[in-house]
Amino acid sequence: MTKLLSVRLVAILIGLGFAIVALYSFVLGAYSAATEEAPDHLPYEDPIDFAFSFDGLFGTWDQAQLQRGLKVYDEVCSACHSLKYVAFRNLEQLGYSEAQAKAYAAAKQVPGIDPATGEETMRPGLPTDYFPAPYPNAVAAAAANNNAIPPDLSLITKARGDGTNYVASLLVGYQEPSARMLEEHPEAAPGPGLYHNIYFPNLNLAMAPPLTSTGQVTYDDGTEATIEQMSKDVAAFLAWTAEPTLVKRKQTGWPVLIFLLFATVLAWFSKKQIWAAVKPKRQD
């Protein structure tokens, strides 16, 4: 009896010890997180919340928007940015037919090999080809862009915090630095070949504003191509290139959750049934 009691007492003390250590480190962590000084950074803005159709638990793609975004990428961004993880056949997921994807590919020139001489040449794309890069290599890309290499855009919305909103915000975020900003942060003045953008963490980037006027792209569905519209559309398109299965992932989640709930109820009932015959033993 006393032996059992002392074992329990030790177990309780050990448990208590762990709980106190856990609580102590939690309080310490919370305290330092709450009182930590913000790092000394330039006052860039958090991205605007554009409320995309695929946000939230029930989000879905807006296919017309993805098609418009492809057009913006195609006519504007592809001059400098590659999209190396997207193949032309993937465009069928945007609602294009196999023939349309094939025609789209055939209209692009991709690097190939001359079958007669083995020399490198350009040939029309096939559905299995990937979007061709605008520059032959990184040196050429840097040389053409004031020493900044335009990053591949396939995964860019995953590579930045709040990526889809960030890309759209960046495209609408070019403006002259305010007088107050220049007074408080003289280092925020754009250097040569740099452009001021309130959403870029160091406030100046080497990309000239790519979207500058309404109607820069002519949309097939008649949507008015304002700068904000084009920015949102291309950002949505880049959310799709980064995670084509996003909507499917969300849709799969619900049946899984419902199934798990159902399985838990079943498990509870079978547990009750299995143990029903076992009477609790009296302990005295």
Q: Which is nearer to ligand HEC, 212 or 245 (CB)?
A: 212
CA 119 remoteness from chain centre: 39
**Closest by CA position to 68, among listed 238, 248, 244:** 238
Tokens of 154: 């396939």
In the bound state with ligand HEC, the residue whose beta carbon lies nearer, of 80 and 239, is: 80
**If binding is defined by CB under 6 A, does position 42 make contact with ligand HEC?**
no
Nearer to ligand HEC (CB atom), residue 71 or residue 89:
71
Our finding on whether 83 is near ligand HEC (CB under 6 A) is no
Residue 239 makes contact with ligand HEC by CB under 6 A: no
CA distance 153 to 159: 9
**Tokens representing 211?**
């979207």
User: Is residue 47 within the footprint of ligand HEC (CB under 6 A)?
Assistant: no
Binding to ligand HEC (CB under 6 A) within 91-130 occurs at none
Q: CA dist 261 to 56, 264, 267, 283, Å?
A: 21, 5, 10, 36
Q: Does 225 bind ligand HEC (CB under 6 A)?
A: no
Residue from 112, 151, 190, 244 in contact with ligand HEC (CB under 6 A): 151
Do 201 and 41 meet the contact criterion of CB atoms below 8 Å apart? yes
Check binding of 70 to ligand HEC (CB under 6 A): no
For residues 9 and 185, give the distance between their C-alpha atoms in angstroms, rounded to a whole number.
Answer: 62
Candidates 65, 66, 74, 77; binder of ligand HEC (CB under 6 A) is 77
Binding mask 171-200 for ligand HEC (x = CB under 6 A): x-----------------------------
**What's the CA gap between 278 and 271, in Å, rounded?**
12
**Contact stretch for ligand HEC (CB under 6 A) within 4-12, 32-40, 184-192, 201-209:** 201-209
Number of residues that bind ligand HEC (CB under 6 A): 22
Nearer to ligand HEC, 75 or 120 (CB): 75
User: Considering the rule CB under 6 A, would residue 244 count as an interface residue with ligand HEC?
Assistant: no
Instruction: Compute the distance between CA of residue 246 and CA of residue 62 in angstroms, rounded to an integer.
Output: 13
CA angle 205, 207, 211 (to 5 degrees): 125
Near ligand HEC by CB under 6 A: residue from 84, 108, 123, 160:
160
d(CA 152, CA 133): 9
Neighbouring residues of 233: CB distance < 8 A, sequence distance ≥ 6:
65, 66, 68, 69, 71, 72
Say if CB 51 and CB 212 are below 8 A apart. no
Between 188 and 207, whose beta carbon lies closer to ligand HEC? Answer: 207
Residue 94 CA to residue 244 CA, distance in Å, equals 10
> Site mask, ligand HEC, residues 129-148, x = CB under 6 A?
----------------x--x
Which residues lie near ligand HEC (CB under 6 A)? 72, 76-77, 79-81, 145, 148, 150-151, 156, 160, 167, 170-171, 205-208, 210-211, 234
